[in-house]
Copies of this chain bind each other. A is one copy, B any other.
Amino acid sequence: MLSQATMSQPHGAVRRFATVPSQPVSLNSLFGGQPVETFEPGTAVFWEGDEARHVFEVVEGALRIFRILSDGRRVITGFLYPGDLLGVSLKDQYLYTAEAITRTKLRRYEHGRFQEEINRSPELRPQLFACLCDEMAAAQDQMVLLARKSAEERVASFLLLIARRLGGDERQPVIEIPMTRLDMADYLGLTIETVSRTMTRLTNCGVIAPSSRHAMVVRKLGKLAMLAGEADAGDKDALGGRSIQQAVWPN
């Protein structure tokens, strides 16, 4: 819904679409001429295993990217927002399904031509490379979350990610959560019940204050960061910087 972009997320691409100055060639500007296509909530843009014919740019809305195990277990490997690119990872088949969460608008670019453009432009290449690296970094964060974090830390990490993404630097950001509890659960490797209980607990602690089912105010951003287990911890607002290695830490 909101049109801000940038959050290194699996499959995402970063890049701010809205505020492109026009002259400089950016990845997103590539899509400028393409017609906008609309996808209703719950509809798939493509399926895992489909031949990978296009690259997409998210113009508006939100999508989930997921894979499904043979017995139905679903794993959401990422969410996409305006400005993100979709389907860049090549191979000749898509390796995940992409589905619209809200009503979503996309621009499409033929895969081969996309590759050509990238190849041709020495400006675009490093941008794409940087995108992939952000994506890789996000994937690693997610592996850390899934491998070693508790339910509370997972939910807190998720909310924090969203808050930083579209809450900007505000101390008590209002955040929109377009996805359902089931989406969150499948992203965080939990069940809906556990997600729900954890959110309730966060509410009772005064860390968050829900305004509707899909929106809330983060009242204690610093506390949320602490709960997320990311070692930045400062009580007020965290500096986005990835702070590393402090083996021992009070607080």
Interface residues of A, Cβ cutoff 8 Å to B: 1, 10-11, 47-49, 67-75, 77, 89-91, 93, 95-96, 119, 122, 125, 129-130, 132-133, 135-137, 139-140, 142-144, 146-148, 186, 188-189, 229-231, 233, 242, 244-247, 249, 251
Contacts and interface: CB of A to CB of B under 8 A. Distances in A.
B247 A11 contact: no
Contacts of A139: 10, 136, 139-140, 143
Contacts of A73: 148
Contacts of A96: 140
Given A95-B140, A140-B95, A89 B48 contact: no
A11 B91 contact: yes
Contacts of A71: 229, 249
Contacts of A229: 69-71
Contact of A49 (B68, B72, B93, B244): B244
22 contacts: A10-B143, A47-B245, A48-B244, A49-B244, A68-B246, A68-B247, A70-B229, A70-B230, A70-B233, A71-B229, A71-B249, A72-B247, A73-B148, A75-B143, A77-B143, A90-B133, A95-B140, A95-B244, A96-B140, A119-B125, A136-B139, A146-B147
Q: What 7 A-B pairs come out closest when comparing CB atoms?
A: A70-B231, A49-B244, A147-B189, A146-B146, A139-B139, A49-B245, A73-B148
A143 B142 contact: yes
A133 B91 contact: yes
A102 B186 CA distance: 37
A68 B119 contact: no
- Protomer copies: 2
Contacts of A129: 90, 132
A176 to B, nearest CB: 24
Contacts of A244: 48-49, 93, 95
B148 A69 contact: yes
B140 A69 contact: no
A227 to B, nearest CB: 13
Nearest to A93: B244
Nearest to A189: B147
A135 B70 CA distance: 23
A221 to B, nearest CB: 18
Contact of A125 (B10, B90, B125, B135): B125
Contacts of A89: 133, 136-137
